[in-house]
């Protein structure tokens, strides 16, 4: 007769909670070794998933050191957009200065396609340079700037000779510029002719003066200020932003110092009055 196999017994455990004084059984839990391991692993997984969800989908993640918050991301995006805009402006100025130099030299202006192709070729050549060569060029550039007191910002400033001024008024210059007696010019034109801003800028004054009549002053970049006096009517007010060629006033004969319909025009550069006819083709 074959010997009957003995069944393997399962060890069971019991966890009880008793009252210390009355020994009354308050809570009891029975489990095996397998169920205990499964319960523990499940609890750890649920806890890890809960922590991950809280960290990934709630604002709690911003408290983690080094994690970028919404403000940092927004600032990074805005800085990237500003860099793209600055690159576009720099490319435009480089095209303008290159064409200006070629025109002054009597050569034909170049197209933007040729400049962009030249930039791409230069960029590819720079990428192929060895790191050591690039470092030496950068160090030499920094040493040269420190030696001569140059800065990138100063090099990017466009001099007044290279700026394009818009003609404020089409007319006849009745009185020219004199640095001592008459540091401005007078332009005669029919009444109510349109007076326009010579550059982009901001109106810093627009109002009445007993001697100059209706006057408007515009602040431009590079410490340039343009002034328009004896107008019949002002079309802009203080604080308005204007672009080159924007109508700002109408020619008139206002103020005690005016003897006829004309525009009294002044151009100031870094605190000094300059001759507008040297930079504007009236």
Whole-number pLDDT of residue 132: 55
End-to-end CA distance of the chain: 129
Residue 220 is predicted with a pLDDT of 94
H helix and E strand count, the chain:
5, 12
| pLDDT digits (tens), the chain, 282 positions | 445 555 566 778 788 888 878 878 788 888 788 888 888 899 999 999 988 888 777 777 666 665 666 666 677 777 777 787 787 778 777 777 777 777 777 777 666 555 555 555 655 655 555 455 556 666 666 566 555 444 444 444 567 877 889 999 988 999 999 999 999 999 999 999 999 999 999 999 999 999 999 999 999 999 999 999 999 999 999 999 999 999 999 999 999 999 999 999 999 999 999 999 999 988
Residues in CB range of 119: below 8 A, 6 or more apart: 91
pLDDT at 94: 77
d(CA 62, CA 72): 11
Instruction: Report d(CA 240, CA 232) in Å as an integer.
Output: 19
Q: E strands within 38-121?
A: none
Residue 94 belongs to what H/E stretch?
helix 70-104
- Choosing among 3.90.550.10, 3.40.50.1820, 2.70.70.10, 3.90.1150.10, the CATH entry for 165-278 is 2.70.70.10
Contact 264, 229 (CB under 8 A): yes
Cβ distance 252 to 212 under 8 Å? no
β-sheet bridge partners, residue 30: 14
**pLDDT value, residue 277:** 92
The three-state secondary structure class of 21 is coil
Q: CA geometry: angle at 131 spanning 126 and 124, to 5°?
A: 15
Which pLDDT value is given to residue 274? 94
Is pTM beyond 0.85? Reply is: no
């Amino acid at each position: 007769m074959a010997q009957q196999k003995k069944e393997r017994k399962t060890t069971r455990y019991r966890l009880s909670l008793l009252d210390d004084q009355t020994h009354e059984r308050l809570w009891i839990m029975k489990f095996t070794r397998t169920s205990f391991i499964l319960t523990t692993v499940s609890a750890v997984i649920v806890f890890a998933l809960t922590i991950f969800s809280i960290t990934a989908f709630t604002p709690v993640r911003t408290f983690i050191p080094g994690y970028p918050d919404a403000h940092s991301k927004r600032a990074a995006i805005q800085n990237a957009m500003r860099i793209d805009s600055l690159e576009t402006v720099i490319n435009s100025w480089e095209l303008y200065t290159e064409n200006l130099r070629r025109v002054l030299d009597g050569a034909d202006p170049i197209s933007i396609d040729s400049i962009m192709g030249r930039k791409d070729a230069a960029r590819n050549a720079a990428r192929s340079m060895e790191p050591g060569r690039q470092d030496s060029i950068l160090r030499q550039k920094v040493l040269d700037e420190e030696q001569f007191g140059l800065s990138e910002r100063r090099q990017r400033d466009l001099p007044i000779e290279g700026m394009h001024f818009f003609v404020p008024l089409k007319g006849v210059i009745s009185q020219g510029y004199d640095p001592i007696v008459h540091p401005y010019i007078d332009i005669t034109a029919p009444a109510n002719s349109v007076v326009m801003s010579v550059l982009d800028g901001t109106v810093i004054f627009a109002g009445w003066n007993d001697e100059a009549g209706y006057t408007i002053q515009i602040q431009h970049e590079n410490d340039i200020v343009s002034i328009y006096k004896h107008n019949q009517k002002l079309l802009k007010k203080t604080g308005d932003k204007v672009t080159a060629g924007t109508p700002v006033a109408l020619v008139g004969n206002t103020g005690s110092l005016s003897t006829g319909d004309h525009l009294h025009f002044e151009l100031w550069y870094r605190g000094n009055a300059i001759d507008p006819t040297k930079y504007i083709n009236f």
